[in-house]
Amino acid sequence: METDAVLKPLLEIIYGPARAPEALRRIKPVIEAFPRQERNKREFFSAADTILITYGNTLKHDGRPPLAVLGEFGREFLRGSFSAVHLLPFFPYSSDDGFSVTDYYTVNPELGTWDDVAGLRRDFELMVDCVLNHISSRSDWFMRYLAGEEGFSDLAIETTPGEHLKNVTRPRTTPLLTEFTKKDGTRVYVWTTFSADQVDLNYRSLDVLEKMIDVLLFYVKHGASLIRLDAIAYLWKEPGTSCIHLPQTHAMVKLFRAILDIVAPDTRIVTETNVPHAENISYFGNGSDEAQMVYNFTLPPLLLYSFLREDTTAFSEWAATLRLPSDKTAFLNFTASHDGIGVRPLEGILPESEAELLIRHTIDNGGQVSYKSNPDGSKTAYELNITYMDALSPASDDARTRASRFLASCAIQFALPGVPAVYIHSLLGSRNWTEGVRMTGMARTINRQTLQYDDVMAEIKTPGTLRNMVFHGCIGMLETRRRQPAFHPNAPFEVLMLDPGVFAIRRWCDSQNILAVTNVSGKPVSLDLPLPGTGPFTDLVSGRVVSPGVVTLAPFRFLWLTDNPC
């Protein structure tokens, strides 16, 4: 009865009152077959929560499965600084570096096995991608669709080109529809939002719904405590509409949340929606019925803009709005990922002329710009393809200045309310991989280089190298941050307007008060800081004691000040 009462209203929103009973009948056996887990966490989030984002093969060592190499790296270097690992799609795939999945249930043998995944999970929580929107055109499921097999005949969304699709929101410039020929010779156009090899799944089909709920629970069974819903905003299609953020899509997120609340209540849903801020945070729902965490997509481009302009005014005004609907939710704060730096999240925050600054700077610094198609046939920038390291610095920067800029950006990211997530190439101080872009023809390859483990270790251990300065600086900050109760993802905060060149935020809890200040400019800034408490005041990062009065911040320097260090 509990399952029926919770799920049926959501299924009625998605499928209507007439089909909802059949939908419930189809999915109940899948849910009931999953052994229910007890709630163990007192709260979803804590100050100790930090996430590493990585591909399974970013680090390679000859003769060893890359997932085993990643596990060794994590055990030796990351256990004190990261609580979880977001393992980007590690399944067999045909394109898009894993996001065109051919088999949802199998570990890519080039990476390792489920045992290697389990080995990683022994030291860290595991965040897994559920690539719900689409499947590879070379997958067994799609082949069975083309063959017209029972249970697969409605897998894809068939339609025809026409005016009914003119308002569809496009995140790419590739055609929305792709033509395929079925086994019986029938030629059909099917929906392919992201590429011709990524066939959108038809959630009007109860066969698809049943299959994907099984996939979701399969990942939980294999230890995923965080589930990332990839490209979730596009899940439900309704010709004649924008086909993004539709009510059925939100109801589907609520359905997944409700199912997990019933069978695995410690599992948290993370939504990935590279869209303007107000649209993005709509996936929190009412604070208890949709995602527990959303990617903070406005953070990367707006923070970058602040460093380029050496002015935090727009960033500070936006950061002051980062309120949550409940203490059961949190932002996932990131600056770089396997994808590019989104441009759409700046809509409504910066004028287009200012966003153009980021585009010009990206091209000048060796990056590329990916575009999306608009209903009127025009194209606009969708994301910047460049490492965050190269995005922050002019080409003329030496390694030490480059590291200083990057660590200053981390100091702001880590001080914001939310859970920090660090992409492995940022942690390792990686630069643009332009050779990879030439090899693949894909702009996103610029930030997806596979590295030799021994080479990386040698640079990390060599003082003065970029990798050494960035890695140890970032690790040190994260280790310190995780001990501070005032950095709890839901702890209160206040953004202070002290100087355009400085970002300042106060975080506090019952036992601690922290003032975090960061100079984003290339010149010294002197401030009379509103220090928290009575003193003496310690900079948590350097361990230095700071006296009340005027404090001068050198270029790209930062302080985390408190009178009660932990």
Tens-digit pLDDT string for the chain (566 aa): 578 999 999 999 999 999 999 999 999 999 999 999 988 877 889 999 999 999 999 999 988 999 999 999 999 999 999 999 999 999 999 999 999 999 999 999 999 999 999 999 999 999 999 999 999 999 999 999 999 999 999 999 999 999 999 999 999 999 999 999 999 999 999 999 999 999 999 999 999 999 999 999 999 999 999 999 999 999 999 999 999 999 999 999 999 999 999 999 999 999 999 999 999 999 999 999 999 999 999 999 999 999 999 999 999 999 999 999 999 999 999 999 999 999 999 999 999 999 999 999 999 999 999 999 998 889 999 999 999 999 999 989 999 999 999 999 999 999 999 999 999 999 999 999 999 999 999 999 999 999 999 999 999 999 999 999 999 999 999 999 999 999 999 999 999 999 999 999 999 999 999 999 999 999 999 999 988 777 789 999 999 999 888 899 999 999 999 998 98
Q: Is the dihedral of CA 180, 186, 189, 194 positive or negative?
A: negative
Strand partners, 423: 53
| CB neighbour list of residue 544: distance below 8 Å, 6 or more residues apart | 538
Q: Are 312 and 505 in contact (CB under 8 A)?
A: no
Q: Could you give phi then psi for residue 271, rounded to 5 degrees?
A: -100, 140
Check: CB of residue 10 under 8 Å from CB of residue 258.
yes
The reply to whether 510 falls in a domain is yes
Total residues found in the chain within this entry: 566
Answer yes or no: 230 catalytic. Answer: yes
Residue 558, domain extent = 493-562
Angle among Cα 463, 466, 471 to the nearest 5 degrees reads: 80
The predicted pLDDT at position 127 comes to 98
Q: What angle do CA 158, 164, 170 make, to 5 degrees?
A: 80
Q: What pLDDT is attached to residue 536?
A: 84
- Output the pLDDT for position 3: 85
- CA 5 to mean position of chain CA atoms: 32
Name the percent of the chain in helix, strand, coil, to the closest 5. 35, 20, 45
Establish if 540 belongs to a structural domain. Answer: yes
* Domains held by the chain: number: 1
Half-sphere exposure of 492 (CA within 13 A, CB side): 7
Q: What is the pLDDT, as a whole number, of residue 531?
A: 83
Longest Cα–Cα distance of the chain, Å, equals: 81
Nearest alpha-carbon partner for 277 in 229, 342, 228: 342
Whether 161 and 119 have beta carbons less than 8 Å apart is answered as no
Residue-level pLDDT at 41 = 76
- The pLDDT of residue 547 is 85
Q: Which helix (H) or strand (E) holds 225?
A: strand 224-229
Strand partners, 86: 53, 127
Dihedral angle sign, alpha carbons of residues 260, 261, 266, 269: positive
At 532 the pLDDT is 76
Which residues lie closer than 8 Å to 242 by C-beta, 6 or more apart?
Answer: 167, 168, 169
Residues 6+ apart with CB under 8 A from 441: none
Asked whether residue 281 is assigned to any structural domain, the reply reads: no
Residue 329 lies in a domain: no
Residue 39 has what pLDDT?
Answer: 86
507 in a structural domain: yes
Model pTM above 0.95: yes
Q: How many helices (H) and strands (E) does the chain have?
A: 16, 26
163 occurs within a structural domain: no
CA distance 64 to 452: 12
Domain containing 529 — which CATH number?
2.60.40.1180
Q: Is residue 546 part of a domain?
A: yes
For residue 281, the SS3 value is helix
Catalytic residue among 116, 230, 289, 390: 230
Beta bridge partners of 52: 85, 422
Q: What's the confidence (pLDDT) of residue 1?
A: 52
pLDDT, tens only, 104-160: 999 999 999 999 999 999 999 999 999 999 999 999 999 999 999 999 999 999 999
Contact 312, 306 (CB under 8 A): yes
Q: What is the token pair recorded at 173? A: 């410039």
In a domain, residue 536? The reply is yes
Strand partners, 371: 381
Torsion of CA 93, 95, 97, 101, to 10 degrees: -30
